[in-house]
Structure 1
Amino acid sequence: MNTLNGSWILEKNENMDEFLKELGVNLLIRKAAKIVTPTIIISSQDKHWSIKMRSSFKNKDSEFNIGEEIDEETPDGKKIRCLYYLEGDKLVCEQRDRKTRALLAIVVKTVNQDGKMVEVLTHKHVVAKRFFKRVE
């Protein structure tokens, strides 16, 4: 079984405001990101994955196969393409602008030695982290 499978609730963020600012996200959405505590539900079977995000701000569902690009939308409404792939026990998503194909962000999800899911988000030189605990 994949260690990422399950329900996860956000415990804390590191450097998210700077990351979102660098991406051009407006102040109102950046402020909402500071106070929202999303739950992420991950399930996978073979190459097929489902990631659901639930929060008081916005809900989002993604279904994809590893190695295939899909169309998605960011919480602030940007149209993007995501390529999901595995690097060992890490789930990686490369987010690109749908029109220009410019790389916007790389998001890596993994479970650390403490059993927390860590999401590392990188845009150019800015790195943010989100830490989630498993919901029992």
Structure 2
Amino acid sequence: MSAFIGSWKLCESQNFDEFLRELAASTSKPTITFDKFGDNGLKMKTETILKTTEQSFTFGEEFDETTIDGRQVKSTVTKDSDTQLTQVQKHDDGNTVIVRKIEGDMMVTTATFKNITSVRKYQRH
């Protein structure tokens, strides 16, 4: 889990515009910061030019989340390993699955909704 602690700035994005169109969401280039939350969770702060959101969660427990584009979802984040997290967002249109994986000084985020997958890379900063 400590591999995620710190601030991550988006440096690469693939297929994200199509992914957002499918969700009917807006484009952004966020900076994501993780901090420890309790004994078994993280606090995730997502900052864009237009908006900042902050979410604290305990691994494996469902929580209410307002996404960066304002949608209300039910989310569950599981810790797959010290370097990988999987988040499932449940919403009216289905489920979005987001996998965040640390690879060296990069965090690779793969988000899938319906048949659209987006890969975004964040540089530790």
- Paired position in structure 2 for 1:67: 60
Query: What's the offset of the Cα at 1:24?
Result: 2.5
- Paired position in structure 2 for 1:13: 13
1:126 equivalenced with 2:107 (yes/no): no
Matching of residues 41-80 of structure 1 within 5 Å: 41-44=33-36, 46-80=39-73
**Counterparts of 1:76 and 1:7, CA distance in 2:** 21
- Paired position in structure 1 for 2:98: 107
* Alignment deviations for residues 16-66 of structure 1 (CA, whole Å, 9 cap, x no partner): 0111111133xxx2xxx2xx4321111225312100011212100000101
Aligned-residue RMSD, C-alpha: 1.6
TM-score (norm 2): 0.89
Q: Determine which of 86, 89, 99 is the counterpart of 1:92.
A: 86
Q: Which amino acid aligns with 1:85?
A: T
**Counterparts of 2:119 and 2:96, CA distance in 1:** 13
**Counterparts of 1:37 and 1:68, CA distance in 2:** 28
8 Å CA contact retained: 2:46, 2:68: no
Q: Which amino acid aligns with 1:53?
A: T
Give the number of equivalent residue pairs: 123
**Counterparts of 2:108 and 2:39, CA distance in 1:** 22
**Counterparts of 2:49 and 2:24, CA distance in 1:** 22
* Alignment deviations for residues 99-129 of structure 1 (CA, whole Å, 9 cap, x no partner): x5x63300111111x4200111001211101
Structure with greater Cα Rg: 1
8 Å CA contact retained: 2:86, 2:97: yes
- Judging by fraction of residues, say which structure has more strand: 2
Give the share of equivalent positions with the same residue, in percent.
Answer: 29
**Counterparts of 2:94 and 2:60, CA distance in 1:** 17
Segments of structure 2 that go 5 or more residues without pairing to the other structure are none
